[in-house]
Amino acid sequence: MEALREGWARLRSPISNPRFVSEGRSAASLNPVVTYYLIVIPALVLAIIGMLMGFSAQTVSSIFGGENPYLDYMKPLLVILGGLLIAYGVHKIPIVFFKTFSYPVFVFALILQSLVLTPLGREEGGNVNWVWIPGLPFLIQPSELLKLALLLVLAKSLTHPGARLHDWRQMLVKAGGLLGLTLVFVMFGHDMGTAMVVAGLALGALWVAGLPSRWFGVVILAAMPVLGIFVGKNPTRIQRILEVLPGNTERNISKPEQIDHSLWAFGSGGFTGLGPGASREKWDYLQAAHTDFILAIIGEEFGLLGSIAVLVTIALLVWGLVRVCQAAKDPYAVIVAGGVATWIGFQTIINVFSVTRVGPVVGVPLPLVSHGGSSFLFTVIGIAVIASFARADTGMTMWGQSHAFSWMRDPRKARRRRRADRGRAERVTEQ
């Protein structure tokens, strides 16, 4: 009986170390400076690729609309540059700020998402997932902010001193309640693709948090009927699934669908591509060429090599995010980093499957590359949050911390300081 009581107490006790938290030599072997630049550099490269390819793909639609393509691209360009500037500021914010404002940001994101049910909601591509805010010159997609807000509040909830990660009743309320509430608000806009990404990133965060593995199988099995119901209620979703099923003989190539033009773009590009700006499918053949199907345009203009280069860059970014999970000592940082890594990786997989006909067209952008203001802005902010965790671990200067404190820990400056001290010591010895 005593053993049973000890086992029960152990199950109900909080878990101090989530998955991926490394100890000893393995954690020490992960150079924090390398981790930091594995996040920052790939993110900047992807943003530049997205900036150039977005202009290449959008030029055509601007010309067809009778607009000056250079002037028409100024607004998305300002969004990208503004997003990078905001991300620069975010990546210097200490972790205590995110912990403090996790719940307020989540509540604000829910309120913003609920506006899709009001006259401020706008429909794009069959989904009412855009909101017009009076005074702003562009629409916003609040569900993109809700992704990040969910991760912050999940990490805050799961790292609370009273959290028991092996108590399924408590986790059903603390984690399941937050995820369920978020999915309900996302589906206000009928955005199935975003809902899938939200569910995926939440499961990734819960996995690295250390919840029992068997629970995930139960959750996935329980979610399948719900997913089937939402798919069955929408004829468009059913049609998209039927289009990618093997042996589908009802497709009429004389009336090509979006996915046909995407495959033709990849086929035209071949191994090395047609050259920058030489895409033919973007000339009003391939819908959403500059957004969800930007990878097809990259494949047409730069071939298989260009497509692989983009995907390898995304993989390096995800690797950097995972390294934060492995090296971080704060469980809050581990959970948020795990969620963002799953977010970027899972969304990339869905997008690649969609544009290559491996899976149905879901309508999610390629992270940081697809043209889209809200998607780019909140994705780069989410990455900047994890970069702030990595930056703090290196000892680099952070907002609200004294420069002297950060300078003493910064390995880049400590190296120069040691050399200077060595020279000074040699001069004293000679005297």
Choose the weakest-confidence range: 141-155, 163-177, 221-235, 243-257.
243-257
**Is 90 exceeded by the pLDDT of residue 218?**
no
Written as six digits, the tokens of 49 are 């690729």
What's the one-letter identity of residue 108? F
The amino acid at 236: T
pTM of the predicted model, to two decimals? 0.85
- Asked if the model's pLDDT at residue 213 lies above 90, the reply is no
Is the pLDDT reported for residue 5 higher than 60?
A: no
**In the structure encoding, which two tokens stand for residue 41, read together?**
């550099």
| CB distance 178 to 150 below 8 Å | yes
Give the pLDDT band of residue 185 (cuts 50, 70, 90). Answer: very high
At 82, is the pLDDT very low, low, confident or very high (cuts 50, 70, 90)?
very high
> Distance (Å, rounded) from C-alpha 84 to C-alpha 125?
27
Tokens representing 247 are 């042996």
Closest by Cα among 200, 192, 230 to 349: 200
Bin 159: left if φ > 0, else alpha if -120 < ψ < 50, else beta: alpha
SS3 content of the chain, % helix, strand, coil (to 5): 70, 0, 30
| Ramachandran area for residue 162 (φ above 0: left; ψ -120 to 50: alpha; else beta) | alpha
CA atoms within a 13 Å half-sphere pointing along the CA-CB vector of 305: 7
Residues 6+ apart with CB under 8 A from 241: 231, 360
Distance CA 286, CA 288 (A): 7
Whether 40 has a pLDDT exceeding 70, the answer reads yes
Location of structure tokens 């049910």: 117
User: Which of the given ranges, 14-18, 100-104, 283-287, has the highest pLDDT on average?
Assistant: 100-104
